[in-house]
Structure 1
Amino acid sequence: MRGAAGRITGAASAARERMPPLTAIPLPRGVDERWLGARWPVRELAAPPPGSGLEPVLGDDGPPVVGHAPDMMRFGLEFTFRRFEQYGPVSWSGAFGRRIVSLSGPEATRIALVNKDKAFSQEGWKFFIEHFFERGLMLLDFGEHHLHRRIMQQAFTRDRLERYVTQMGPPLREGIRAWGAGGRPRLYWALKQLTLDVATRVFMDLPSSGGGFDAARINRAFVSAVRAGTALVRHPVPGGRWAAGLRGRRLLERYFGANLPAKRAGGGDDLFSALCQAVTEDGDRFGDVDVVNHMIFLMMAAHDTTTITSSAMAYYLAKHPQWQERAREESLRLGDELPDLEALESLETLDLVMKEALRLRAPVPSLARMTTKDTEVLGHHLPARTLVSVSPTINHFDPECWTDPRSFDPERFGPDRREDKTHRFAWMPFGGGAHKCVGLQFGSLEVKALMHEMLRTYRWSVPEDYHVKWDYVSLPVPADGLPVRLAYR
C-alpha cells in the first residue's frame, strides 16, 4: 500500500493554505499539550474501487479506546480547525467506538446536504440520539420526512407565528424583570430557565409546573437527554449519562402524554394543539405517538438552540458595548408596548448581531448522516454505511467567504457586504437542503424578543479580560454559565 501520508490530496493542501494561522488554545489545567497535538498513525478509511480514480478518505483513530471524542468535546472549534489543517475537507476520526467521516467546507457540506442522489440519510442521528429523541423530524428520511414536514409546517405559518409572538411577550418581560440588577448572575442558566418557561407557555399553553412535573425536573430531563447523545459509555450504567438520558426521555413521554387528550379535544393556539389538529389536504395527520415524539424533539430544539444563541449574543454584546447601545436605541424606539411580529422584524441591528453570533457559535456544531450506498465527495471514496459528520464550523470561518473571520463584525451581513451570500453554504447555522430547520423563523423571533426585553431593562457587561470558554460535551454552552454584571439602564 502506498504511504498514507502521501495520499493527502491537493484539495487538502489548498484547504490548509486558505486557513489563517490558528490562535493558541488555552488548555485546561492538567491537560498535556501533546495530547491534542499528537500525530497518530494515518490510515485509509477504505480502499477505493479499482479503476475509479477516487482517493481514499484519510484519518486516524486517536487515543486507544476513547478515540478523539474527548478532544472533540474539550476543544470544539479548535479541534475541527486542526483536523481540517491536517487532512482537508474530507477526513475521518475515531470516536465513540466508530470511524466518523467529517465533511467540512462549503463544497463538501453542499454535496451531503443537497443530497441529489440520496446517498446520505438521517440514520446517522440514530447512533447519537435515537433513544432520546425517537422519530423526531430530524431523524426521518426522504418520503416519510417530507410527509411529516408538510404536516408540521402548518404549525409555523405566519398567522401562527404572530400568535406565538403575542404569547411569548408577557413571560419574557416578566421573567427578565425578575432577574434584578446587581451581582453577577450566571446568565446562561437564567436564559435556559426563561426559554423553558416560554416554550411551555407557547408550545403547550400550560404552566411549566403542576401535575407532578415541576420546571426543574423538566429542565433536567431535557439536559440529560441532550447530553446522553455524546456519552462515551453508551449503555445504561447506573450513574452514567446514557442512563440519565433514558430516564429523562421517559419523564418527557409522561409529561406530554398526560396532556395530549386535552389538546386533542381543544382548539388552542399553542404548538401542541396545532400538531394535534393539523391535517393535510390529503387527510394525513399525526397519531398520538407521533405528536409526543415531535413535541419532545421540538421542545428540545427550541429550548436549547434559543438558549445558546441568546447566550452568545449577550456575550458578544457585552464584549462590544457599542453594538449593545446601537441595538438598544432601536429597541427603545419601539416604545413600551410588547412588540408584535412586524416590530421584531424591524430590529435590524439585532438581526445583524444574531446572524454574526450564529456564525461564530453555531448552536448545532455537527449534523449527522449515514451513507446509504457507496458514494464520493470531492474525489474521495465513502463506502456504504459510513457514519458522517457535516459541520458548519469551517464554512463559518473560511477566509474565502468571510473577511477576518475570527472577528466579531455584524456588518458583514449588511446589504452592502452580504458575505453570507459568497457561497450557498457559507452560512448554515440552520442546516440546509430538505432538512433545513423547520422552526428557524420561530426561533429567530423568540431570540429577538428576548434580547429586545433585555436591552430595554438592563445594560450588562463582563470584565475586559474575560473570554468565555465553551463546553462541547453536547451542544456548545458556556462552561462557567456566563457570569455578567447586570445594571438597570
Structure 2
Amino acid sequence: MSLLAPPAFNDVSGAVRQARAQVAGRVQRVGARLTDRYPAPVRALAEPPPGSGLRPVLGNFGPPGIGYTLSTLADPIPFARKRFERFGPVQWFGILGRKTVTIGSPAALEAVLLDRDKVFSAQRGWEFLIGPFFHGGLLLRDFDEHLFHRRIMQQAFTRPRLVGYLDLTTPRLSRGVAAWQPSRNFHAYSAIKQLLLEQATEVFAGARLGPEGARLARAFEDAVAGGKALVRMDIPGGVWARGLRGRRLLADYFRRELPAKRAGAGADLFSVLSRATTEDGQTFTDDEVVEHMIFVMMAAHDTSTIAASMLMYELGRHPEWQERLRAESLALGKDSLDYADLDRLPALDLAFRETLRLYAPVAQQARETIADTHVLDYYLPRGTLLMCGPYSMMHTDEYWPAAHLFDPERFAPDRREDKTHRFTWAPFGGGAHKCIGLYFGGMTVKAVLHQVLLRYRWTVPADYRVPLVAGTGPTPADGLPIRLERL
C-alpha cells in the first residue's frame, strides 16, 4: 500500500493547506499586535532559595490564558529580540496557557542541552507540545531509555545505510525534479514538499506510490498539523481532532505492514528498524517500531523540506550564489550525486549551513525541569517548561555580525563565525538528543539542489519577502512562488 496520494489529491490538499496557512498567518499578526499592547506586569518566575546566590528569572505572562503565543508565532525574531534586550538571555513569558522560560544565548543553550545533572526532560517538554501525535518517538524519550533506543536506531543511520538510501531515492528525485513545469509562478515549497513526501514513502516506509495512498497521505499531514494546533482540544472537525485521527491511521498502517517488514530483506528504514538488533540481542517491540516510524517520517520530511525550500529562496534572491553553486555542480560532471560527492561541493555546503542558520528547521528545543535547578545563575524550580530557541538566537547580532544577511562565507575557513561558541550554530540541537538524522538531512537537501541547479534557473522579485508561519520551523505560507526557467 502507498503512503501518497495521486497528483490530483496532492494538488488540491496543497492548495487548501496553503490557504489555511495564509489565513492563520493573518490572524496571528493581528493577534500579536493586540497582545503587545496588553499591560502585563513584570514578575519573577520564582524566588530563589535564600542563600543560594541565584537570580530570579524575570518576565511577564501577557494576556490571560493565551499569553504571548500569537507573538511567538507571527513575528518570532523581532519578538525574541525585544525580549532579549529587555530581560536578557534567560526570561519567561506565557505561551499556550503555561509560564515558559526561553533560552537565548549559546552558553545557556549549552547548559540545557548538555544537561550534565540530568534535570532537563525532553520527554516532558515535547509531550506538552506534540506528545499526543508523536509519543514514543526518539525525541520523546529520556536518559537511559533514550540512549537504549538511540543505540538501536543508530543502525539505520550508518554510512552504509545512508549510501543505500541515496541509491534508493536518487531515481525518484531525478524523475520528480525533471517533471517540474517552468512557470512565472512556480510554488517551490509545495513542489519540494511533494517530492520529499514521495522520497519518504520509498526510503522510509518502503511503499509504492499509487492512488490507494490518499487516505494515508492526509493522515500524515493531519498528524503534523495537529502538533501545531492552537486550540488543543478534541473538538470534532478541529485541527487537533484531525491530527489524532491521522495518528491512529498511520499506526494502523505501520502495524499491519510490520510482519512483512520483519520477515523481508528490504533496505528501507521501516525494514531496517524492524530487524535492528543490538549485540546482546535487544530489538524494538512492534509498538516501538510503529512509534519511531511515525516520528521519523515527520522529523525527516518536514525539516528537509524547509531547508531545501529556503535555500532555493535565498539562491533566487542572490543570483551570484546560485551561479556559483551551479558552476560547482556542473564541474562535478554528474547528473546525480553519489554519497562520496557530498564533500566535493564546498560552496553548496556553505550555503546550506547559512540557510540552516537563517531558517532553523527545528526552531525550538523543548525541555521541562524534573528538579529544582539553574541555568547559568538563574533559578528554575521543578516543573518549569523551557523553550530553547536556536532560531531566534542565530538571528542575534551579538552572536552573528549582520545576522539578517544571507552570507554563506561566514562559514568559510578564514571566518568561521560559528566557532565563537560550540552552540552559536545549533540547528541540530546538541547533547544526547542531537539530531540522529543530521547527515541524512544534509544528504537529501544537497541531492535535491544538485538536480535543480543542473536543470533550472530561478529568481524571485526584488521586493518579495517570503511570508513565514510557524511549523516545525519557519514555513512559507504562500507556497514560495518563484520564476522557474529550464536551462
Pairing of 1:324-363 with structure 2 (within 5 A): 324-363=322-361
CA-CA distance at 1:33 after TM superposition: 4.2
Q: Is the 8 A contact 2:336 2:450 kept in 1?
A: no
- Amino-acid identity (%): 52
Cα separation, 2, equivalents of 1:298 and 1:176: 24
Matches within 5 A, 1:383-462: 383-462=381-460
CA drift of 1:34 comes to 5.7
Counterpart Cα distance in 2 of 1:250 and 1:473: 21
CA distances 1:246-302 after superposition (whole Å, capped 9, x unpaired): 011012112222221111110111111110111111111111111111011111011
Show CA shifts across 1:57-107 (max 9, x none).
111111122111111111122222222122111111111111111111101
Q: Does 1:149 align with 2:150?
A: yes
Distance in 2 of aligned mates of 1:219 and 1:346: 35
Secondary structure at the counterpart of residue 99 of structure 1: strand
Amino acid at match of 1:92: W
Relative to structure 1, is the Cα distance of residues 130 and 29 closer, same or farther in structure 2, using a 3 angstrom cutoff? closer
Q: CA deviation at 1:56?
A: 1.2
Cα contact 1:358–1:429 (8 A) shared by 2:
yes
User: Which of 256, 261, 265 is the equivalent residue of 1:258?
Assistant: 256
Greater CA drift, 411-420 or 301-310 = 411-420
Please name the residue that 1:53 is paired with. 53
How well do the aligned residues superpose, as a CA RMSD in angstroms? 1.8
Structure 2 partner of 1:110: 110
Question: Is the Cα–Cα contact under 8 Å of residues 263 and 276 in structure 1 kept in the other structure?
Answer: yes
2:173 counterpart residue number = 172
The range that moved more, 105-114 or 175-184, is 175-184
Q: Normalising to structure 1: TM-score of the pair?
A: 0.91
Q: CA deviation at 1:369?
A: 0.2
Q: 1:485 & 1:426 partners in 2: Cα distance? A: 34
Q: Which residue of 2 aligns with 1:36?
A: 36
Moved more, 333-342 or 119-128: 333-342
Summarize the alignment of residues 275-294 of structure 1 with structure 2, pairs less than 5 Å apart.
275-294=273-292
Question: Which consecutive residues of structure 2, in runs of 5 or more, have no partner in the other structure?
Answer: 1-25
The equivalent of 1:192 in structure 2 is 193
Distance 1:39 1:410, change over 3 A: farther
Structure 1 pair 30–107 and aligned structure 2 pair: CA distance change class (3 A): closer
Contact 1:213–1:255 under 8 Å retained in 2: no
Counterpart contact for 2:29–2:74, Cα < 8 Å: no
Deviates more, 1:177-186 or 1:148-157: 177-186
1: CA distance, partners of 2:406 / 2:184: 27
Q: Structure 2: which amino acid aligns with 1:241?
A: V
User: Bigger shift: 447-456 or 73-82?
Assistant: 73-82
Q: Distance in 2 between matches of 1:363 and 1:208?
A: 27
Structure 1 residue runs of 5 or longer lacking an equivalent are 1-25
2:378 is the counterpart of 1:380: yes
Report the equivalent of 2:226: 228
1:76 aligns with 76
- Give the residue type in structure 2 aligned to 1:226: V
8 Å CA contact retained: 1:458, 1:487: yes
Across the two proteins, how many residue pairs are aligned to each other?
461
* Counterpart code for 1:302: A
Q: For each residue in 1:100-137, what CA deviation from the matched residue of structure 2 results, as whole angstroms up to 9, or x when unmatched?
A: 11111101101000100011011100011111001100
Q: Residues 154-182 of structure 1, C-alpha deviation per residue, up to 9 Å, x if partnerless?
A: 01111111111111111111011111212
Q: Is the 8 A contact 1:80 1:393 kept in 2?
A: no
Q: 1 CA distance for matches of 2:470 and 2:438?
A: 22
Does structure 2 retain, via aligned residues, the 8 Å contact 1:364–1:475?
Answer: yes
Alpha-carbon deviations, 1:316-372, whole Å to 9, x = none?
000000000000111112224422101133111111111000000101111100101
